[in-house]
């Protein structure tokens, strides 16, 4: 399982490091991205993060499951809820990632 803990406030540098870790993963199976307090340095950085994740979508699709850990009340529904889910609890995210693998 690849676990990425983003340091808040999240900056362009932090996003770039996250993307590089994902790209360097040799055995993509399970991915947990912890956005911490979901504290982005600016709206520009948040948009940059979303765009960078979209740019590597083909790489992300190689993972069996992806969990994103955020703070409440953040909610987002993915098009494929069996592949990508959002969580507020590290324990629930890891439990979901481990189920059915």
What is the tens place of the pLDDT at every residue in 18-70?
999 999 998 889 999 999 888 899 989 999 999 999 999 999 999 999 999 98
What phi and psi values does residue 83 have, to the nearest 5 degrees?
A: -110, -35
Over 80: is that where the pLDDT of 75 sits?
no
Over 80: is that where the pLDDT of 101 sits?
no
Contact 22, 59 (CB under 8 A): yes
| Amino acid 79: pLDDT | 60
Report the range out of 27-36, 69-78, 86-95 with the highest average pLDDT. Answer: 27-36
DSSP state of 27: S
Over 60: is that where the pLDDT of 78 sits?
no
Distance CA 56, CA 54 (A): 5
Bridge-based pairing state of the strands 30-34 and 84-87 = unpaired
Lowest mean pLDDT across 8-12, 44-48, 76-80, 97-101: 76-80
């Amino acid at each position: 399982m690849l676990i990425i803990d983003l340091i808040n406030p999240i900056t362009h540098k932090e996003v770039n490091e996250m993307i590089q870790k994902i790209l360097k993963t040799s055995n993509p199976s399970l991915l947990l991205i912890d956005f911490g307090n979901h504290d982005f340095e600016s709206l520009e950085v948040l948009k940059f993060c979303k765009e960078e994740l979209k740019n590597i979508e083909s790489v992300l699709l190689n993972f069996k499951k992806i969990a994103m850990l955020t703070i409440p009340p953040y909610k987002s529904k993915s098009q494929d809820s069996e592949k990508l889910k959002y969580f507020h609890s590290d324990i629930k995210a890891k439990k979901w990632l481990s189920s059915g693998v």
